[in-house]
Amino acid sequence: MPQAKPVRKAVLPVAGLGTRFLPATKAVPKEMLTVVDKPVVQYAVEEAQEAGIEEFIFVTGRGKETIENHFDHAYELEDTLADRNKTAELRALLAELPNAGNTCFTRQQKPLGLGHAVWCARKFVGDEPFAVLLPDDLMIGTPGAMKQMIAAYHDVGGGVIIAAEDRPREETKRYGVIAPGAVKGNAVEVKGVVEKPDPAKAPSTLCIIGRYILQPEVFAELGRGERGAGGEIQLTDSMAKLIGRMPFHAVRTKCDRYDCGDKLGFLQANIGVGLSRPDIAPALRKIIERLL
Ligand code: UTP
């Protein structure tokens, strides 16, 4: 089996309007809402860094400038921390910064759908495999979801890898759903994908979640601009055209997933991540018990 090309770049589509989370997302991008003490977008970047990804392409939109600022120096803050001898805090802030020149920000001028947002990154990705991480899907696990997916990518000889999760049948109309084939270790062959099918028509209950490893061939399909479910340019529809042309697998990651684009999912993320943090877990547990 020839060695698959390494995955060096990640696309983070962060141009969505976050209408399910209004009014919180009127002036603050949903990707900047914090889970415990970090914006959700930072969790996604750290997950990709852990997987060996070096370059980050953010597809943003109007009103999302704080995301760009978050991944840059904040000189006044850094000076003040230094003056006050808050060395640990300063060191942590600096360690989190991506290397100079390794991030770029482009705009999706109209929110035409996830597929269109990914297509907007095509010039920055070029002709190589790339990861896509949707920050609202917060994935917590060791190793992280993207690291597990990149391991599977090399095991099956490259191609496309999508993260998947079994969901109750009544939820298929909220997800892209997989028609599964043969199982190969941690990966399941993908025979077909359908965006948001009715439960009665869904090919399975194995649903696509917000992590992908894609090949540059997907850009030609996305470039046709075909509208799918909800009138949006869907990533699932263009990915489906690659089935049969290259290896195509789904991976059930061994991670906890929190849907931070949804109010309840976001609350659950704060509780779940809080309870996993030794510095605050004992006090948080007591607070929850008292509230119940
Ligand atoms: P969602 O459908 O969850 O995002 O898209 P949304 O449209 O912001 O959410 P609601 O339904 O209005 O609350 C999943 C991911 O795709 C990005 C979003 O930012 C999110 O990361 N996205 C979606 C774009 O970048 N552009 C789009 O046109 C649509």
Percent of residues, the chain, with pLDDT higher than 90: 88
Sequence letter at residue 274: G
The pLDDT of residue 228 is 87
For residue 1, the model assigns a pLDDT of 66
Residue 216 Cα to ligand 1 midpoint, Å, equals: 21
Whether the pLDDT of residue 186 is over 90: the answer is no
Residue among 22, 57, 64, 134 whose CB has most ligand 1 atoms within 8 A, to mutate: 134
- Residue with CA nearest ligand 1 atom 18: 16
- Site to probe by mutation for ligand 1, drawn from 11, 12, 17, 106 as the one with most ligand atoms within 8 Å of Cβ, is 17
Residue minimizing CA distance to atom 3 of ligand 1: 261
Q: Which atom of ligand 1 is nearest to the CA of 262?
A: 13
pLDDT in tens, 36-91: 999 999 999 999 999 999 999 999 999 899 999 999 999 999 999 999 999 999 99
CA of 233, closest atom in ligand 1: 28
| Ligand 1 atom, smallest distance to 112 CA | 28
Range of the domain at 30: 9-291
* Spacing, Cα 12 to ligand 1 middle (Å): 11
For residue 59, the ligand 1 atom closest to its alpha carbon is 25
Tens digit of each residue's pLDDT (9 = 90 or more) over 202-260: 999 999 999 999 999 999 999 998 898 889 999 999 999 999 999 999 999 999 999 99
User: Mutual orientation of helices 75-83 and 87-95 as an angle, nearest 10°?
Assistant: 150
Domain for residue 1, yes or no?
A: no
Answer yes or no: is pLDDT of 185 > 90: no
The alpha carbon of 110 and the centre of ligand 1 are apart by a number of angstroms equal to 12
pLDDT > 70 in the chain, percent? 99
Give the number of the atom of ligand 1 that is nearest the alpha carbon of residue 61: 25
Minimum-distance ligand 1 atom for the alpha carbon of 21? 13
Output the pTM of the full model: 0.95
pLDDT at 143: 96
CA of 16 to the centre of ligand 1 (A): 4
Q: How far apart are CA 269 and CA 285, in angstroms?
A: 14
In a domain, 43, yes or no: yes
Q: How high is the pLDDT of residue 56?
A: 97
Least Cα distance to 269 among 13, 28, 8, 36 occurs for: 36
Taking the centre of ligand 1 as the mean of its atom positions, its distance from the CA of residue 232, in whole angstroms, is: 11
Residue 135 contacts by C-beta under 8 Å, 6 or more apart in sequence? 12, 14, 31, 40, 41, 43, 44, 210, 260
Domain count within the chain: 1
- Averaged pLDDT score across all residues of the chain: 94
Which atom from ligand 1 is nearest to the alpha carbon of 13?
25
- The residues lining ligand 1, judged by C-beta closer than 6 Å to any ligand atom, are 13-21, 59, 108, 111-114, 116-117, 134-136, 261
Paired with 179 in beta bridges are 192
User: Could you tell me if residue 80 is inside a domain?
Assistant: yes
In a domain, 79, yes or no: yes
Query: Could you read off the pLDDT of 153-182 as tens digits, one per residue?
Result: 999 999 999 999 999 999 999 999 999 999
Residue 175 lies in a domain: yes
How far apart are alpha carbons 25 and 226 in whole angstroms? Answer: 28
Strands 103-107 and 55-60: parallel
Phi-psi region of 85 (alpha: psi -120 to 50; beta: other; left: phi over 0): left
> Residue 3 falls within a domain, yes or no?
no
Please check the confidence at residue 6 and state whether its pLDDT lies above 70: yes
- Contacting residues for 260 by C-beta, under 8 A, at least 6 apart: 30, 33, 35, 40, 135, 136, 137, 138, 266, 269
pLDDT at 38: 95
Residue 4 within any structural domain of the chain: no
- What CATH number is given to the structural domain containing 198? 3.90.550.10
Q: Is the pLDDT of residue 132 over 90?
A: yes
- CA-closest residue to ligand 1 atom 16: 114
Q: Is residue 130 part of a domain?
A: yes
CA of 282 to the centre of ligand 1 (A): 35
Neighbouring CB atoms inside 10 A of 80's CB total: 12
